[in-house]
Amino acid sequence: MPLVDPPSETRPPGAATVQACESVRVASPVMRLLDVAFGHPHGPLGRLGAALMVRGNVEQETWAVEHAGLHARLRVLVVGHGPGVGLVQAAAAVTPGDQVIGVDPSPLMREPAAVRCAEQIVAGVIELREGTAEDTGCPDASGDAVVSVNNVMLWDRPAGFAELARVLRPDDRLVITVHRHVLDVPADQLVANATAAGFIDLQTSLRPRKRNSPAG
């Protein structure tokens, strides 16, 4: 379903919801390995990371879709979709009537997402693109909701929040959830970045780490 650029104008974005998932700090050598597997995935560790995300991110993906208030006839942008678990959930929520756009810079993530979402892609419900939070390729005011799970720490945050504010229609919603052990700044800094980009009605929450959490 192609998108047509509407006239560009200054519009206030809507609400932003941020969830930080509490977890223990991880030593820097381990963080470097985690970056290869999950942050900037490549090689065998990247493929392993994609497989682990399928199991490890389900709860956060579900939380994000629920808090985005998705329903039929909403157009949704999923930033950093990884192996595509959240794409499937978002597509189920907006069907029938509209579309989920997924952007991810990593071929190692787009490939399994394309396999997982093959039926929805053929039906035109999901579209996958190479892209980032800073450069989504979406027209102005073209989205009803934006969802990001465990990738905000990889953004150029001022540029990323500004891009998502541009893409969202007025009064619509951005939902972010992230493990605190991979976030390089306090959660309050995300609120400050979102506010600077023009988001209003900001909400934050902290989810306690669960014993079986793969977040380490």
Instruction: Indicate whether 105 belongs to any domain.
Output: yes
Whole-number pLDDT of residue 183: 85
Residue 212 above 90 pLDDT?
Answer: no
Instruction: Indicate whether 126 belongs to any domain.
Output: yes
Total of domains in the chain: 1
**Across 47-66, average pLDDT:** 73
Instruction: Indicate whether 65 belongs to any domain.
Output: yes
Contact between 175 and 36 under an 8 Å Cβ cutoff? The reply is no
Whole-number pLDDT of residue 11: 41
Location of structure tokens 């794409």? 87
Whole-number pLDDT of residue 33: 46
Residue 14 above 70 pLDDT?
Answer: no
108: domain CATH number is: 3.40.50.150
**Across 9-35, average pLDDT:** 52
Instruction: Indicate whether 154 belongs to any domain.
Output: yes
Instruction: Indicate whether 42 belongs to any domain.
Output: no
72-124 residue pLDDT tens: 999 999 999 999 999 999 999 998 888 999 999 989 889 999 999 999 999 99
Higher pLDDT, 171 or 33: 171
Instruction: Indicate whether 31 belongs to any domain.
Output: no
Residue 3 above 80 pLDDT?
Answer: no
Q: How far apart, in whole angstroms, are the C-alpha atoms of residue 112 and residue 138?
A: 22
Instruction: Indicate whether 33 belongs to any domain.
Output: no
Residue 176 above 70 pLDDT?
Answer: yes
Whole-number pLDDT of residue 123: 95
> 111-135 in b/e burial notation, b at 16+ Cβ within 10 A?
ebbbebbeebbeeebbbbeebbbbe
Whole-number pLDDT of residue 175: 96
Q: Which long-range contacts (CB under 8 A, 24 or more apart) does 208-215 make?
A: 208/22, 209/21, 209/22, 209/23, 209/24, 213/21, 213/23, 213/56, 214/52, 214/55, 214/56, 215/21, 215/23, 215/56, 215/179, 215/181
Whole-number pLDDT of residue 85: 92
185-207 residue pLDDT tens: 888 999 999 999 999 999 988 87
Residue 163 above 60 pLDDT?
Answer: yes
Query: Which residue type occupies 167?
Result: V
Location of structure tokens 């306690």? 208
Whole-number pLDDT of residue 119: 96
Q: What range defines the domain where residue 67 resides?
A: 15-25+58-207
**Across 37-65, average pLDDT:** 65
Higher pLDDT, 5 or 30: 30
Contact between 38 and 108 under an 8 Å Cβ cutoff? The reply is no
Location of structure tokens 């392993």? 48
Do the strands 168-179 and 143-149 form a parallel or antiparallel pair, or are they unpaired? parallel
**Across 128-147, average pLDDT:** 97
Instruction: Indicate whether 87 belongs to any domain.
Output: yes
Whole-number pLDDT of residue 50: 52
Contact between 37 and 48 under an 8 Å Cβ cutoff? The reply is yes
